[in-house]
Every structure is written in C-alpha cells, then in structure tokens.
Amino acid sequence: MNSIDLAGPQIAVLIAAGVVLLIDALMPQQRRLLPFVALAGLIASALWSASWAGRGDYQDAFGGTLSLDQYAIFFYFLFAGITATVVLASIDWVNREGRGQGEYYALVLTTCSGLMFLAAARDLVTIFLALELSSIPQYILAGWGKDQKSSEAGLKYLLLGAIASALLLYGMALLYGVTGTTFLPDIASAIQANGEHYRALLVLSMVLMIAGFGFKMAIVPFQMWVPDVYQGAPTPVAAFLSVGSKAAAFAVVIRIFFVALPATFLSDDWSMVFAILAAVSMTLGNLMAVVQTDIKRMLGYSSIAQAGTFMIGLAAISVTGDEFTLGASGVLLFTATYAFTNLGAFVAIIAISQKIGSDQIKDYAGMWKRSPFLSLALAFCLVSLTGIPPTAGFWAKLYIFNAGIRADLAWLVIIGVANSVVSGYYYLSVVRQMFLGDAEDGRTIRTSPSIGMALGAATLGVLIFGILPMPLISAAENAVEVFAR
C-alpha cells in the first residue's frame, strides 16, 4: 500500500485514463464529459502531489526504483499543469475531428503518467520503461490527424524514436556492464571505486545516452524530426511534444548525470559535451527559425534553440561549492517557464489557425484588429520566449546565464545572449505582423471558453512569474537540493 501511495499521482492519472475509456465505450452519449474527467484526474494527481509536498517525508518506492523527492514533486506539478493545458486546448479540435475521442484523452493521460514516472525514476530499467510509456502514446498521437502530413509525422517520430531508444539502451547496457548495477546511486559508488579504468567505455556510454535523450530534448544533431513532426502533428499534440517530453528528458538527464555520473573525471567531459551541444543547438536552431514562413515550423526550430539554452544549465556542472546545483535549478526554472510560455504560444496558434485555416506567418497580419486578446497573449508569450523583462522567460534566462558565468562558461553565455537577439528578430517579427500588418479579412475571431481558459492561465503565469518570480525560483532551488553534495 505504501508503494501505491507513493506512486499515487501517476496512478490517479492512469485511473482517469481508464475512466475516460470506459465512459467512451459504455456511455457514448456522454462524450462531452471526457475532457472534464481527464481534468479531474489531473487535479486529483496534483492534489496528491501537494499532499506529499505538505507531508515532506520524501521516500523511495518499489525497492528504491522510484524516488519520491521534492525533485519529482516539482515535475509532477509541472506535468499535471502541462497536460491540463493540453487537454483544454484539445477540446475544440477533438470535437471537430469527432473520432476516437476517448482514446485521444486516454493516450494523453497515459503519456502524462509516463512523464511523471520518468521524473521519479532512479533505476536505468525503470527509466527506460517510463520513457517508452511516455513515448509510445506520443507516436500514436503525432499520427492522429486524418491528413497525410500527420501520418508522415507519426511514422517519422516512431522510426527515429525507435533508433533513439536503441541508442539509449546501448548506453545503459554499457553502463550496466561497467558497474554491474542499474541503480543510479550504486552506479555512482561503483564508478567512484574503480571507474577510472573504464573511462573510455563510460564516455562512450554517456555519449550514447546523450544521443538517446537528445532526441527527446530535440537538440542538434538529433533534431531532424522536429520541424516535420511539429508541422504535421495536430497542433495540441505538437504543443505537448514541445514541452512535455522535452521537460521530462531534461529531468531524467539531470538525475542520471548528477546522481550516477558526478565523478569529476567524467563531469568535465560531459559538461564540455553539453556546452558544445548547447552552442550548436542555439545557433543552428535560431538560424533555421529565422527563415521559416510557417509558424509551427518556426516554433519547432525555436524549440531546438531553446533546448540549447536549457543545456547551458547542464554544462554548468563545474560550479564549485554550495552553488554546485545552480545549473540544475536553472534548468528546472527554465523548463517550467518555457513550458507555460510555449504552451501559451501554441494555444494561441491553435485558436487562430482553427479560424483562419492557415499556419503561415503572413496570414497573421492585422490579427490585432481581429482578436486583441489572442494577439496580445501570443505577443506576450513570444516576448517571454525572447527573454525580455518583465516576463517569466527573462528570469529563467538571467538565472541560467548566471549559472554559466559562475561555471566559467562566459563564451557560451555570450553565444546565448547573441542568440537571444537573433531569436528576438523572428519572434518579434510575428508580433510586428500581428500589430502592424493589414488584415485582408477583417472578421473578428471568437475564442472558445476552453481555449480562452488555457491561454489566459498560461499568459497569466508568464506575467505573474515575470513580476514576482521568487516562488518559482525557490521551488526550483528547493527541488534540486536532492543533488547537493
């Protein structure tokens, strides 16, 4: 029972998934309740997490393979919030699509539980299982649309995802071979004992794992799938992919590298790998985003660049002393702010593209006159993605750049700042279109209540944490205390 209690937040989500399927099968006339059941499950999950946070006695479950600590709780809240926003944003689209409504919500919820398991997993086998639990529903969701593009996106995501999983498994196998265990803390002590003899193998294993997770994080050079899948997949699903699996991948990478591989002779290597990946991702992602004319592709490439910025936090492991976890808390802070900012942007795009039937940036011209609410919210999210105060995105960037500077990565921070300027160009050019361009079609756009709620919540989050970011920063710093040495 205790272990079940510990996995409660995930189980609540899974139960909701089951109930959704049952209602869909047994009471088809009640289908419009489905999203609300899903939301109820997510709220229950968040409440359960909150009760754990309140109790404060964090424990291990299932023989230590799941660790319910403040780090996991941070991500539980994040994933519940992300999934709830995605569900709200999906309602209109799913109703219009008509088919498989129960399955859609059930898959979204299953993904969410997989992501939650991923954040808590402390054993290589559990990590891999959780990763597959979150990935397989996403492959299906990416191909959910009726058109060819969506099928292509689903297939592409599946094939490349399978390769990535194989690489990851390879890396894990090597790590197991060297250390004789799959339990992260034991791996760390085994490496401490006699890891230096196997340095080459360990580095190879790290590189393979970074490749495997790099696919989920969507960093260069594992980014090939991103633009096609973002463009082809249904927009709510693309939004989910862009924040959910990215956040989970960063969560698990931090846990693996900080718990299992913090030995100095290794961390120097992987921090350099992360630094280089960060620089390349930011630069290439931004350069590609500049030339896009389709807003979903643009956000796809920009999400590659953003992942590069997250990665500065991972590279900043060499911060010494008490601030050892500065980079990690920066990643958490960035993950959270990026999650609701990018979701906000996607939700606004969903609302707009449903009405104008186009994802071309030029068709956003004059949007200000057609829907002031949508354009203001979208503009605000884009400003936050650029990292201009007073938005949440600014604090995240400031924090992570600060961590980079503490870790003597000034060159990387300079690249980061230069990239922020480049990203400002394409983010703000959308804003310019919306506010200055002339609309060919002057009809106003009405926003449905569910989309309005999702967008309002995301934008309000960006604004509130932009003015008073302290609660979020403390939460992120508190969460990574589990890694303090």
Partner 1 sequence: MPELTVLVFLPIAAAVLILLLPKSYEQQSKWIALAASVAILALSVQMFFGFELHHSGYQFVERHKWVDVGQFNLQYFLGVDGLSMPLVVLTTCLTLASVLVSFSVTNRPRAYYACLMVLASSVLGVFVALDFLLFFLFWELELFPMFLLIAVWGSGRKEYSATKFVLYTIAGSAFMLVGILVLAFNANTFDIEVLGKTEFHGTLIPLGWVFFLLFVGFAVKLPIVPLHTWLPDAHGDAPTAVSVMLAGVLLKMGGYGLIRMCITMMPGVAEDWDIWLAGIGAVSVLYGACITLRQTDVKRLVAYSSVSHMGLVLLGIGALGNTGLVGATYQMLAHGLITGLMFVMIGLMYERTHTREISRLGGLARQMPLITTGLVFAGFGSLGLPALAGFIAEVTVFLGAFQRFEWAVLMSIFGVVLSAGYVLWMLQRVVFGPVKHEWDGVTDQHHWWEHTVVVGLVALVILLGVYPKMMTDMIGPAIDNIVVRVES
The radius of gyration of the chain from alpha carbons, rounded to an integer in Å, stands at: 21
Task: Verify binding: residue 257, partner 1, rule CB under 8 A.
Answer: no
Q: Two tokens at 336?
A: 């959270």
**403 contacts partner 1 (rule: CB under 8 A):** yes
Distance from C-alpha of 162 to C-alpha of 141, rounded to nearest angstrom: 16
Distance CA 443, CA 197 (A): 70
In the complex, least distance from residue 442 CB atom to partner 1, rounded to whole angstroms: 15
Q: How many CA atoms lie within 13 A of 372 on its CB side?
A: 0
**Cα 330 from Cα 469, distance rounded (Å):** 13
Number of H helices, E strands in the chain: 21, 2
Supply the minimum distance, in Å, between the C-beta of residue 165 and partner 1. 36
Closer CB to partner 1, 150 or 391, in the complex? 391
Binding residue (CB under 8 A) for partner 1 from 146, 362, 432, 443: 432
Cα 318 to its chain centre, rounded Å, is 24
Joined together, the tokens standing for residue 365 give 């011209």
Contact region with partner 1 (CB under 8 A), list: 52-60, 94-102, 201-209, 392-400: 392-400
* DSSP-based three-state secondary structure for 67: strand
Considering beta carbons, is residue 141 or 431 the nearer one to partner 1?
431
In the region spanning residues 261 to 280, those forming contacts with partner 1, defined by CB under 8 A, are: none
Give min distance, CB of 283 to partner 1, in A: 17
**Dist CA 103 CA 322 (whole Å):** 47
Instruction: Find residue 109's DSSP bridge partners.
Output: none
**Residue from 162, 166, 410, 484 that binds partner 1 (CB under 8 A)?**
410
CA distance 89 to 239: 9
Residue type, 454: A
Look up residue 182 and give its amino acid: T
Residues 38-97 that bind partner 1 (CB under 8 A): none
Choose, by CB under 8 A, the member of 401, 426, 427, 483 that binds partner 1: 401
Smallest gap, in angstroms, from Cβ of residue 469 to partner 1? Answer: 6
SS3 content of the chain, % helix, strand, coil (to 5): 85, 0, 15
What's the rounded Cα separation, in Å, for the pair 306 and 416? Answer: 10
The DSSP element (H or E) to which 60 belongs, if any, is strand 59-61
Using CB under 8 A, which of 160, 203, 356, 405 touches partner 1?
405
Please report, as residue ranges, which positions from 100 to 139 form the binding site for partner 1 (by CB under 8 A): none
Closest distance of CB 267 from partner 1, Å:
20
CB of 219 to partner 1, least distance (A): 24
- Minimum Å distance from CB 402 to partner 1? 4
Asked if 388 touches partner 1 (CB under 8 A), the answer is yes
Q: Name the nearest CA neighbour of 257 among 312, 197, 182, 188.
A: 188
Sign of CA pseudo-dihedral 143, 145, 146, 148? negative
Q: What residues between 303 and 332 interact with partner 1 by CB under 8 A?
A: 323, 326
* CB closer to partner 1, 202 vs 317: 317
Q: Does 424 bind partner 1 (CB under 8 A)?
A: yes
Collapsed DSSP state (helix, strand, coil) of residue 121: strand
Question: Considering the complex, what minimum distance in angstroms separates the CB of residue 275 from partner 1?
Answer: 16
Residue 421 interacts with partner 1 (CB under 8 A): yes or no: yes
- Considering only residues 46, 351, 413, 434, which one is a binding residue for partner 1 as defined by CB under 8 A? 413
From the list 395, 426, 427, 483, which residue makes contact with partner 1 (rule: CB under 8 A)? 395
Query: Does the footprint of partner 1 cover residue 290 (CB under 8 A)?
Result: no
H or E element, residue 298: helix 295-315
Q: Nearer to partner 1 by C-beta: 40 or 414?
A: 414
Q: In this chain, which stretch among 57-65, 75-83, 348-356, 396-404 interacts with partner 1, using CB under 8 A?
A: 396-404
Asked if residue 364 binds partner 1 (CB under 8 A), the reply is no
Classify residue 290 as exposed, middle or buried by CB count within 10 Å of its CB (0-12, 13-18, 19+).
middle
Binding residues for partner 1 restricted to 436-475, rule: CB under 8 A: 436, 468-470, 473
- Judge whether 45 and 76 are in contact, CB under 8 Å: yes
- Least distance CB 424 / partner 1 (angstroms): 6
Least distance from C-beta 284 to partner 1, angstroms? 22
Handedness of CA 285, 452, 384, 251 (dihedral sign): negative
Of 167-226, binders to partner 1 (CB under 8 A) are none
Q: Under the rule (CB under 8 A), what is the footprint of partner 1?
A: 323, 326, 388-390, 395, 398-399, 401-403, 405-406, 410, 413-414, 417, 421, 424, 428, 432, 435-436, 468-470, 473
